[in-house]
A and B are shown apart, each in its own frame.
Chain A
Amino acid sequence: MLPVRVFFKKLGYGVYFSHLDLQRAVFRAINRSCLDAVYTSGFNPHIKASFAAPLSLYQKSLYEVFDFYLVEDRNYDEIAETLKSSFPPGLEVFKAAPPKHPFSSLYAADYEMTFKLVSMLEDLEKSLSGSMIIEKKTKKGGSEVDISRLIYSKSLSLSPSGAKLEMRCACGGNLHLNARHVEEFLKDKITGCEITRLSLLTRNGLLFE
């Protein structure tokens, strides 16, 4: 059994479908590739696979990761090439390799948010400097959450088309921040927000590979 970690981008059409849709699309792409994948056993067998971190609708990503297993050994570059041609538009495979880090070591993700400013940059800086309280809907009703503790670092700058916020946020495991919550927190001050996940990182700040 050969463990395979696949690295891919989610762009274009990819931003319009959900995490569940993504999983289905990946399974079908593996089926089309004719790679001999390992299946789960049980009443409803499916390809044995794990996805590193879900991405919300409308978010792009330059660095997505999933693991699956092949029944027999194959060259990783060959696997990547095979998957490239069977993946649908919007999902671009750029690497296949043996897993280097366990999923439990996933700690953070880097994001880039670009937007147009509705208020002054200083107002935005001020909002981002203290606690960032958002209303989180749960089954039992709403609860207030401070998301600032889930943002490990951030940098705000002006860009030709507006402004750009780069941030490193909690990802995976117990602590996880959906970048959409930051957009939601800033909704009165920004417009036309585009979110791109740039990379996934381990606790040591290494690229999750």
Chain B
Amino acid sequence: MVKDIYLPLLREVEKPGRYTGGEFGCVYKDKSKVDLRVCFCFPDTYEIGMSNLGVKILRHCLNEKPNIYCERAFSPWDDFEKLLIRHSLPLYALESGDSLADFDMLAFTLQYELSYTNVLNMLKLSGIPLYSKDRGEEHPLIIGGGPCPFNPEPVADFFDLFAIGEGEEVIIELSEEYIKAKKEGKSKSEYLRVASHIPGVYVPSLYKVSYLENGKVDSVTPLYADVPKVVEKRVIQDLDSSPFPAKTEVPFIETVHDRVTLEVFRGCTRGCRFCQAGMIYRPRREKSPETLSSQAQSAVRETGYDEISLSSLSISDYSGLSELIDLLKGWTDEKNISLSLPSMRIDAFYGELMDKVMSVRKSGLTFAPEAGTQRLRDVINKNITEEEILASCRMAFEKGRQHVKLYFMIGLPTETEEDVRGIASLARNVVAEFAKSGFKGRLQGVTVSVASFVPKPHTPFQWFGQDTVETITKKQALLRDEIKSGKISYNYHGAAASFIEAVFARGDRRLSKPLAAAVESGRRLDGWSEFFSYENWLDIFARTGVDPNFYAGRERTYDETLPWDHISSGVSKKFLIAESEKAKSGVATPECREKCAGCGANMFGGVRSCCP
């Protein structure tokens, strides 16, 4: 719990509940009686971090071990950060109130690239040197996981190791190895060498990166023969028996996802070519409806939440969805517990499901057509038609829904002005569909939410250049002019932030310099528009001699060594190249359940209906 010395500071901040800890469900242990103290650090605010299911699962795995104590820390908002600096007080963990510097291990989850400055800022606020080479035996081991470490290189110089892929097993293996090493009096470098032998573990200091004269990566090679040349991600084979945290902290203050999150399956069979999650989480593995219903029941009992959110990629692809909803409805309605679904594929949306899901509380409907024309939807392999989109919206309207939200992206490879105009035209057609639906109420509106495309590693689009900020801004303006209906509201994500995200998404180790310089000059919370500064970032790149366009805008050739080529998601480069070529020709690939496209993810074994 927060120490007394911090209490006066809490009177001066906007949301003191972010920094107190002490929520219902907190795990406390006697720190003198454990072998390992880990702090799970979420590099964003409490409200974002407490919404993350992955972190809850991993903390649960660690705290299940009697000899391991795992606590929590989050990025402070700028008001609290200023007070910490002014009073020379370190950032602390919410359970013990101890400085992050007092832990054996700090585990950061890297969910999005714009949080990298927060990682470094959390180290800085705790008095821990940023670069791993500057940290000694007295400093905590800094480890990273989550989706971003599929290209760990931009932050490789700051981390001691990364766990690639799903962490439930590897976090325990790393911890047990650490406890053993500590008892045997091994040094940090000795431990890291041993850790590099654990499948899924990448120790960046054990690899040498060489560059060509043209600035591209030449090779990433292990320094020793016993260190793996390629690190393969970890995969949990059986989700039904994987750990589930029924009892979690119930925040006092409202968080982004303030409800029970029920992870239905991992992976996706659709193969949308822009989607990193759809590639790196393969192969698809499901939990059974019985397991899910029973886990939801225990989570509701332990937390008191009155809402359950089903979570997965493309939820409507879950083979047991109808059965699961029926099982859940068997006990949720009488307890006044509502169900919510994430955004759905439009082709799979059906009315009966909506009726069931919406029986307790009405919530918004979100669809993701992603692109405005059929041509571009074929390029990105979205595999849905305008007729399907309109039919789904009509069904939603017929069921009494008066508001629909549509997600799109602009800046996708091969995009033309016609494709951008197509977004407005599709939205107009959705509005027109309301009139045809025969629903007597008034249409509240159609929201068009547009993100800028960021090419991500391990996807078929990893070789494409990103549109410049100027081009994206022009396209955003074009779309604004095209949307004339008062029934359509339009919002879009800042092009500059997407540009910086693209730099770090496909960056290499040379980006550690601008990152460190950014944090030293006070940059952090870059995911928040009130703190993000494009000009400031451009200035930092200029000062550190880095050309951001080399990373964001440049199109790569297939034979170029990519900075993340030594990290394997199981999906082969051969498959990604084939998909990239099919995108250029506008040819769609059927989803895995129709026909195996040979992506390579079945290398992880296991029996799955979607993998031969």
Contacts and interface: CB of A to CB of B under 8 A. Distances in A.
Interface of A: 12-13, 16-18, 20-21, 24-25, 27-32, 34, 39, 43-46, 57-58, 86-90
A27 B304 contact: yes
Given A16-B10, A57-B16, A34 B23 contact: no
29 contacts: A13-B252, A16-B10, A16-B252, A17-B16, A17-B17, A18-B253, A21-B17, A21-B252, A21-B253, A24-B254, A24-B258, A27-B306, A28-B303, A29-B24, A29-B304, A31-B300, A31-B304, A31-B335, A32-B24, A32-B303, A43-B361, A43-B362, A46-B306, A46-B336, A57-B16, A58-B16, A88-B23, A88-B252, A89-B22
Interface in B298-343: 300-306, 335-336
A17 B336 contact: no
A28 B301 CA distance: 10
Given A27-B304, A27-B306, A45-B336, A16 B254 contact: no
B26 to A, nearest CB: 8
Nearest to B10: A16
B22 A30 contact: no
Given A16-B20, A88-B252, A31 B305 contact: yes
B24 A88 contact: yes
Nearest to B8: A192
A6 to B, nearest CB: 15
Contacts of B395: none
Contacts of A57: 16
B4 to A, nearest CB: 12
A17 B304 contact: no
A28 to B, nearest CB: 3
B399 to A, nearest CB: 14
A34 B250 CA distance: 16
A45 B16 contact: no
A16 B16 contact: yes
B375 to A, nearest CB: 41
Contacts of A24: 254, 258
Contact of A16 (B17, B301, B362): B17
Contacts of B252: 13, 16-17, 21, 25, 88, 90
Contacts of A86: 304
A13 B22 CA distance: 7
Contacts of B16: 16-17, 57-58
A112 to B, nearest CB: 18
Contacts of B250: 25, 28, 88
- Interface centre among A21, A30, A32, A34, by most chain B C-beta atoms within 10 angstroms, is A32
B360 interface: yes
B361 A32 contact: no
Contacts of A20: 254
Given A16-B252, A21-B254, A27-B304, A90 B22 contact: yes
Given A16-B16, A88-B24, A32 B301 contact: yes
A39 B304 CA distance: 15
A24 B336 CA distance: 15
A39 B336 contact: yes
Contact of B11 (A17, A44, A58): A58
A59 to B, nearest CB: 11
Contacts of B22: 12-13, 88-90
Contacts of A87: 24
- Interface centre among B24, B26, B303, by most chain A C-beta atoms within 10 angstroms, is B24
Nearest to A22: B252
Nearest to B21: A13
A45 B360 contact: yes
Contacts of A30: 304
Contacts of A17: 16-17, 252-253
A87 B23 CA distance: 10
Contacts of B303: 28, 32
A24 B304 CA distance: 10
A90 B20 CA distance: 11
Given A27-B304, A43-B362, A89-B24, 5 more contacts: A21-B252, A45-B336, A45-B360, A46-B336, A88-B23
A45 B334 CA distance: 11
B306 to A, nearest CB: 6
A187 B17 CA distance: 24
A193 to B, nearest CB: 10
- Interface centre among A12, A13, A29, A58, by most chain B C-beta atoms within 10 angstroms, is A13
A132 to B, nearest CB: 23
Contacts of B361: 43-45
B11 A28 contact: no
Contacts of B10: 16
Contacts of B11: 58
Given A21-B252, A39-B336, A43-B361, A13 B304 contact: no
Interface in B1-40: 1, 10-11, 16-17, 20-24, 26
Nearest to A41: B336
Contacts of A43: 361-362
A46 B306 CA distance: 9
B301 A34 contact: yes
A31 B23 CA distance: 16
A26 to B, nearest CB: 10
A57 B1 CA distance: 19
B537 to A, nearest CB: 35
Nearest to B358: A43
Nearest to A43: B362
A28 B17 contact: no
A88 B250 CA distance: 9
A15 to B, nearest CB: 9
A60 to B, nearest CB: 13
A155 to B, nearest CB: 26
Interface string B239-278: 0000000000010111000100000000000000000000
A46 B335 CA distance: 10
B39 to A, nearest CB: 20
A31 B306 contact: yes
Contacts of A39: 336
B20 A13 contact: yes
Contacts of A44: 361-362
Contacts of A18: 253
A22 to B, nearest CB: 8
Contacts of B1: 13
